[in-house]
A = this chain, B = another copy of it.
Amino acid sequence: MSKKLTTRGEDYSKWYNDLVVNADLAENSAVRGCMVIKPYGYAIWEKMQAELDRMFKETGHQNAYFPLFVPKSLFEAEEKNAEGFAKECAIVTHYRLKTDPNNPAKLIVDPEAKLEEELIVRPTSEAIIWNTFKGWVQSYRDLPLLINQWANVVRWEMRTRLFLRTSEFLWQEGHTAHETRAEAVAEAEKMNKVYAEFVENFMAIPVIQGTKSENERFAGAEETYCIEALMQDGKALQAGTSHFLGQNFAKAFDVKFASKEGGLEYVWATSWGVSTRLIGALIMTHSDDQGLVLPPSLAPIQVVIVPIYRGEEQLAQISEVANDLAAKLKASGVSVKYDDRDTYKPGWKFAQYELQGVPVRIAIGPKDLEKGSVELARRDTLSKEIVMYAEVVDRVKDLMIEIQENLFEKARNFRDENITEVNTIEEFKEVLKSKGGFISAHWDGTSETELKIKDKTKATIRCIPMGGKKEEGKCVLTGNPSAQRVLFAKAY
């Protein structure tokens, strides 16, 4: 039999970890807090990268690559940013090892190879990029500068979880420079919208677009836009953020441009990023006790064909049909794997591909051959149907759309059912405890109140929804006036 998962009901957190490991997505490494992304998990990331990269390029961005290291003097230039990341960064202090004089089989750090200035392994690249932008921007003709980087970053986390929070993770970080405040704000908003479209349409994860409260803002930003998703256990997950950085980095790194009017002005900045953390969101949005459930858009294998046979001759007959179907499916743009390995039984394969979330499974046995049909199983509903050969391609193509839509609808319904309006702090606590999810409540707009609520409930403001209806009310904690409800939740 295939590896067994803990169920969500038994232990959600253990279910998640079992699933990541058993579905061959990732595993912990010998390096504290750093993961190995296994080929199947990485194939999902590649699909996500390709789509995001296409979207970034379509919106005028170009990729570039900046150094892994940030010299300490640059790192500390933008004070708030530095303060935000100082407590969790890996620091390179030496550039050479030497043989241990006490044990020739061992190496030690060579004390004579100490760096004059320590290097910080980038936790984010604003500092090194803005130091570079200084050389790239002289006049308004050089703007806007629309740059993206695909890279690894390191944030020394004390408590880590595969994909969700790891000391090293993979991400993209956009960094842009603009002539005006309005243009930079528009860019930050646009990229948050690009993220929302990507996550909803491609990953089938419904999100709420909004802005962060001051407490939750990116270190160094004037405004942080975000997309927030709700996981099955009622906790929120920040799926992407886009920051309007004002002129903070331009001032810290002295990046000015000659304007059309002949003046010399600081440029306006944005930065925005999503990471391998999204794979955690993907898992916790769609998967079930049988394992991973993947939306067809990002499934490395969209259809698996499993033969059910006794003996070589039957296998040969089935393979003829299977190979023909596989070729036709491929020709119509569907990715297919025909698993005719004789080292594993059909039952094992069924469980394995369920665990790995392959959207559609086609089984072909001797009875199917007689009837000219196949058995087609959907991973999302676990339902089965019999389909004649001639209809398989059309049916599968329809299913690719149906499954994608069904997963999104299901997740959206769950999310919508788990947004609860509350009007008192008692109700707040009660709902959070009994139901979880997003708590929609009035808030007086102060950091002080947010922190007090966090202290009492462990819930924070996940976002101030954009385009949320203006509704006057009173803060759940202080009773002070509020112009709009905001969404609180416990969060990953």
Contacts and interface: CB of A to CB of B under 8 A. Distances in A.
Contacts of A91: 92-97, 109
A89 B79 contact: no
B96 A88 contact: yes
A33 to B, nearest CB: 9
Contacts of A31: 67, 69-71, 119, 128
Contacts of A63: 39, 42-43, 46
A35 B27 CA distance: 32
A36 interface: yes
A439 B187 CA distance: 57
B107 A75 contact: yes
Contact of A119 (B65, B69, B90, B131): B90
Interface in A62-98: 62-72, 74-76, 79, 82, 86-98
A30 interface: yes
A390 interface: no
Contacts of A95: 88-91, 156
A242 to B, nearest CB: 20
Nearest to A116: B32
A38 interface: yes
A86 B107 contact: yes
B93 A89 contact: no
Contact of A65 (B71, B74, B107, B170): B170
A97 B45 CA distance: 32
Interface in A1-54: 27, 29-31, 34-39, 42-43, 45-46
A331 interface: no
Interface string A219-256: 00000000000000000000000000000000000000
Interface in A101-139: 105-107, 109, 118-121, 128, 131-132, 135
A82 B108 CA distance: 12
A450 interface: no
B96 A66 contact: no
A58 to B, nearest CB: 15
Contacts of A132: 27, 29-30, 36
A107 B119 CA distance: 12
A168 interface: yes
A147 interface: yes
Contacts of A62: 39, 42-43
11 contacts: A29-B67, A30-B67, A30-B131, A31-B119, A34-B69, A36-B65, A36-B66, A36-B132, A82-B97, A109-B118, A152-B152
Given A27-B132, A91-B109, 11 more contacts: A29-B67, A30-B67, A65-B170, A68-B152, A68-B154, A69-B90, A72-B107, A90-B119, A91-B94, A109-B118, A141-B343
Interface of A: 27, 29-31, 34-39, 42-43, 45-46, 62-72, 74-76, 79, 82, 86-99, 105-107, 109, 118-121, 128, 131-132, 135, 141, 147, 151-152, 154, 156, 168, 170, 343
